[in-house]
Chains A and B, each alone.
Chain A
Amino acid sequence: MQNLIDGILTGSYISLGAIGLTLVMHILRFANFSHAELLSIGAYAALVCDALVSALTPAFAAKLGPLSLTWSLMAAIVVSMIFTGLSAVVLDRLVFKRVREKGAELSMVFASFGMALVIRNVIGLIFGLSPELYSKDIAFAVVLSRDPLLLVKPDQVFVLLAALLLMLILHLILSRTTFGFSLRAVAENPALAQVNGVNLNRTIMAVWLIGGALAAAAGVFYGLSHQIIPVMGRDLVLPIFAATIVGGIGSVYGAVLGGFIVGIAANMSVLVLPAGYTPSIPFLLILAVLIIRPHGLFGEARA
């Protein structure tokens, strides 16, 4: 049971990361290996912003109830989401857009790998290679039940609720606004969407903004649950990809479900396999999905 609960909590930030990735892969049609680095950017941006706000207005540095979270970190999450969304747009302008205009889709994959290396190590050079934490205090877990023993940290509950809230907002945007429809139109047929007055460049920009913002939230939530290190992108990239493949590339709801499946599977695997093998679990899930249902749970075949 404890593993199941941990898995659901892990799944909440993997889902957030996977939503952005699946949108980018759907619209721009390439596997973006630098997406996990957006999580790192978000986590570190929030770290800096948190420190700034707490230093400027010490009143905000007080804790919220049982959470190790502070008002300043809440503000930092919002700022970091905007910042990361913008940096994703800048990244697209500087690199991906130019490569896209030059040639093949696979060049984009190479470029995203190269960018991932650059971003990850520049972060390491700026912030140092040692792990950081948002709060130095020990967060005590709350006992949910004694038999079986179930422990949950208040922070983890916050992460889950916040992730679900973000997903709900995204769902409303995608299903109720003109923007949501134009997004789907571009994914289906870019040329036809343009004929009907959808601004392609603006849509792509919006996708990067949304993807980056959600990635930033996911990065902060990962940092709250674990720690912030420059190589976190390297450890997260495979689970996020697994979530998009399990859910079906292009399906937002699939990505959400896939994220939870990956999180639960990785945490449950400890019951049958030594913990050292956990990083391989996403790969096994990918293989299983490719064998049973190659286009994922909600995906559709597309050339």
Chain B
Amino acid sequence: MIGVISYLVFFATTASILAIAVLGLNLQWGNTGLFNGGVVAFFGAGAYGTLILGGTPQAGHLGGFELIYPLALLGGMVLAGAMAWIVGLLTLRLRHDYLAIATFGVAVAFENLMRNAEWLAGGAKGVRGFERPLRDALGDGFTYNLVFFAGVLCVLICVYFFLERLVASPFGRLLRAIREDEEAAQSLGKSPARVRLTAFVTGSVILGLAGGLYGTFYAFVSPQDVLPTLTFQIWAMLIVGGAGNNRGAILGAFLIWGAWTASGWALSRFAPVEAQLYTGSVQFVLIGAVIVGMLLWRPQGLFPERLVVSQTGITPQKEQGA
């Protein structure tokens, strides 16, 4: 029984961390209409940043600053934000496909750099030697995981309320205005490029926060953690949940992560031994099919964005098809 509960805690922790990342992406794609093709780079920047800043000294690569944990996590978030700022500055004033291609390129280059630069982050071996916070007080067992889960859940709730407030604020209205009609927003004296950049960096900082928590949870990060697969998974979560709807984003994260783990388990349990090599391929086909299928048959997701028209005073709510 304790085994099942401890697995559920493990599952829920990972899903909650991914849900934070989906919320970050939702601010970019759902609310602002920015396509981020390199989710994993910003996620990875958070993870690497946190572990390098907060870890113990390691032979052969940068690290061992042994900052106290909140500072290390903050450092990871800043790193993710800085990366987003540079990419955004270069691409956000151009056609939208440039952002898609450039962010995709960031992810490829980031993984490539982490895999090759041994002096920076241990290369293919990854970053080790990170002491999880409060480990001395709680040990390594079930209690620790439970407390950690509670912490992640708190962060998730905080991020959720932060984004809900943000979206309901004048700034959120501005984001939607620019997404729907850039010229109209411009004619009111707003600067779409600057607002987009703010939203892109904020979303990436949240992605970095998720990455930092992920790195903390495993106390280890390697280039295997920043493969494009994660980008596709996080997208699928947002598209299934419903772009523009924060609650949908969280639910999508749990649904897709559940489906991913369940399909992996089922394939490893029931597929014949000689086919085991191909279980990854089957899972990728499934996730690709989920993305395309949702776009074809239910592009608004399971939980569509609720558009509030504030002018009439009675706030009618209508479903939106885009």
Contacts and interface: CB of A to CB of B under 8 A. Distances in A.
Interface string B216-233: 000000000000100010
Interface string A271-282: 000101101101
Contacts of A110: 35, 235, 239, 291, 295
B292 A115 contact: yes
Given A107-B295, A129-B277, A238 B105 contact: yes
B101 A114 contact: no
A242 B296 CA distance: 29
Contacts of A237: 104
Given A249-B97, A276-B115, A290-B91, A98 B278 contact: no
B89 to A, nearest CB: 10
Q: How large is the interface on B (under 10, 10 to 19, 20 to 34, 35 or more residues)?
A: 35 or more
B180 to A, nearest CB: 11
Interface in B84-105: 90-91, 94-98, 100-102, 104-105
Interface in B22-40: 29, 33, 35, 37
Contacts of B177: none
Contacts of B288: 113-118, 121
Contact of B285 (A30, A99, A104, A125): A125
B296 A276 contact: no
Contacts, number: 139
B189 interface: no
A102 B109 CA distance: 33
Interface string B286-322: 0111111001100100000000000000000000011
Given A115-B292, A129-B277, A109 B100 contact: yes
Interface in A97-140: 98-99, 102-107, 109-111, 113-118, 120-122, 124-125, 129
Contact of A279 (B35, B95, B112): B112
A33 B101 CA distance: 9
Given A115-B288, A238-B105, A274 B295 contact: no
Contact of A111 (B94, B96, B292): B292
A164 interface: no
B123 to A, nearest CB: 9
A287 interface: yes
B139 to A, nearest CB: 40
Contact of B90 (A31, A102, A284, A291): A291
A271 B278 CA distance: 38
Contacts of B282: 121, 125
Contacts of B33: 104, 106
Which label, helix, strand, loop or mixed, suits the secondary structure of the B interface?
Answer: helix
A74 interface: no
A154 interface: no
Given A117-B284, A238-B104, A245-B98, A280 B112 contact: yes
B116 interface: yes
B174 interface: no
Interface in A247-303: 249, 274, 276-277, 279-280, 282-284, 286-287, 290-291, 294, 302-303
A99 B112 contact: no
Contacts of B35: 106, 109-110
A109 B278 CA distance: 27
A266 B282 CA distance: 33
B18 interface: no
A117 B287 contact: yes
Interface of A: 25, 29-31, 33, 95, 98-99, 102-107, 109-111, 113-118, 120-122, 124-125, 129, 234, 237-238, 241-242, 245, 249, 274, 276-277, 279-280, 282-284, 286-287, 290-291, 294, 302-303
Given A110-B35, A110-B239, A111-B296, 18 more contacts: A31-B100, A99-B296, A102-B296, A105-B96, A106-B29, A109-B37, A117-B284, A117-B288, A121-B285, A129-B278, A238-B104, A238-B105, A242-B105, A280-B108, A280-B112, A287-B105, A290-B91, A290-B102
